[in-house]
Amino acid sequence: MKVQVLYLDKLKFDAEKTLAKKYLDRIESSGRKIIDPIILKQINHKEMDQELNSSSFNVLLDEKGKHLTTIKFTELVFESSHKKINFFIGNTDGFTEILKKKGDLLLSISPMTLTHSFATIILLEQLYRAITIKTNHPYHKA
């Protein structure tokens, strides 16, 4: 499974970059390489439009999107018929209605508005958690 986490704004603070890298490293070093590769990348609107027009499963993070439990999120990632999933994290303006319609799923990781940096970190942590669930690693304790 290939996963891209694509964001429109940059991670501004060192602490955010460090925490994002921590979860990225955990995902990359997970025993069975279930997600390979994982790409974390800042993109612009033109690149976003190109990715949205790809054959990937495209998930846009939005506070008004669908709420999933961690188990349902794990199923979304690992039981998809697609070989690649793109997760898009908007900037302070969010996504236009046109972009939202191009996505396959609007997903909310919180009903509250989060900074794109926090949304990125939370998404990476949930991807790592999904791997641990899939591999029966004790990190996830439900």
Mean pLDDT score, 21-40:
87
**Which tokens in the block code for residue 25?**
């490293």
Quick one: CA dihedral 22, 67, 87, 10, positive or negative?
negative
Cα distance between residue 89 and residue 83, in whole Å: 20
pTM recorded for the entire structure: 0.93
What are residue 134's phi and psi, to 5 degrees? -60, -35
pLDDT tens track for 9-24: 888 899 999 999 999 9
Q: Which domains does the chain have, with CATH numbers?
A: 2-134 (3.40.1280.10)
Identify the bridge partners of residue 89 per DSSP, sorted by sequence position. Answer: 7, 61
